[in-house]
A and B are shown apart, each in its own frame.
Chain A
């Protein structure tokens, strides 16, 4: 009997939603399990790192890693799994673009540590104890991974073969990707396994998108009563669909929320945030400096808005430390 292809899953800096999306295959997961051998999946199955280390290099058909890379342990696991796998797939927005964890690239490591272990209102730590990478007591040594200065995308650490976009990827896209892996019908290396068109293309409100968008003000969705049938841009709401890859079938818009950009850019765009900024700002109605600034003030946090998922993968990558 021919051996079934081996598949592995691993998570790094992520929320667990990507793991959940695998389970969201529902009964289809049985087909997957029938067709492949899952050899490593810490969240669901009991395998050890030593099991992976013992496998011959390249013996795993495909590994899907979700989450951004923040610690030395994640780096080490990414490298180990890269070596053991034929295909390495960046699974989800965090692995592909940095995701929400990459918003921490706006702050120095010391500021993060200080807040989390000393200043956060829910922390009681009068001795100001911080985690140490090494601690010895009674001859026993405990270690913790290093917390890096920069949050990275998976492909900033190891070579990546394919990307499955989304926060989280949809079960449909995952099923398609698994099928492609099993049949060997794969696109060129480096491809994102989703349609290469902007989200507007598959948006149910596409027809109501004005040819000439003209923002008189930007409205926040939680502070405004919105028309559930009209294009968000026509209503003055920041929707990133114009510069975001489709493939999610406009789930957020169908749920009456604007796109926040989790599928990342299309292949024609290098920096998603810059492109959204470009599109939205250029369509402000005002022509005088004061009027333009007043309208743009409706977007109070440009980095957090335009790079919600893409800061680590952006051209600037992280905040430059000021002297």
Chain B
């Protein structure tokens, strides 16, 4: 790991508003931080909390969910479902020791390319200040304590081997 660390943010954007806003930001040649890995979903209501946890578990430093403003959901109520899940998920994630700023929900309409730019820049700056999360590496570090035993038992086994040979 000689490369300098850059925040990696997984973004779940809804097809009808936020993803379109990201398109608009691109077409309008707005510049914003290149730290997003964007995943397009049909609706923010499709964002299963498992997706968010898995993103963290696989090494994301932050997760951003983008959906239509309340009242504007293409599927009428998907964004409300997303908001309710988010409120609970944010508490759970915080209780599990992940800083609050790493998980964010924003309503960004198709016309709000400028807002998208600002939200992304803000979040990247915030996560940068928090530093790396690197859960995938932490898992390996946690399990290091088992490897020593595996080694010791292996050695002891070798010493005893002739018994079954």
Contact = CB atoms under 8 A, between A and B. Distances in A.
A296 B50 contact: no
Question: How many A residues are at the interface, by size bracket?
Answer: 35 or more
B53 A292 contact: no
A24 B45 CA distance: 45
Nearest to B70: A287
A320 B84 contact: no
Number of contact residues on B: which range applies? 35 or more
Contact of A296 (B87, B153, B160): B87
Contact of B164 (A56, A106, A299): A56
Interface in B93-136: 95-99, 131, 133, 135
A277 interface: yes
B98 A320 contact: yes
B97 A322 contact: yes
Nearest to B134: A320
A104 interface: no
Contacts of B57: 315-317
Given A281-B88, A292-B84, A302-B92, A270 B146 contact: no
A316 B135 contact: yes
Contacts of B81: 282
A122 to B, nearest CB: 27
B87 A54 contact: no
Given A54-B163, A315-B56, A316-B56, A278 B142 contact: no
B87 A320 contact: no
B87 A149 contact: no
B88 A277 contact: yes
A56 B99 CA distance: 50
Contacts of A316: 53, 56-57, 96, 98, 135
B23 interface: no
A152 to B, nearest CB: 8
A277 B92 contact: yes
Nearest to B144: A149
A274 B153 CA distance: 37
A303 interface: yes
Contacts of B56: 315-316
Contact of A277 (B45, B54, B85): B85
A76 interface: yes
Interface of A: 53-54, 56-57, 72, 75-76, 79, 106, 146, 148-150, 156-157, 269-271, 273-275, 277-278, 280-284, 286-287, 289, 292-293, 296, 299, 302-303, 306, 314-323
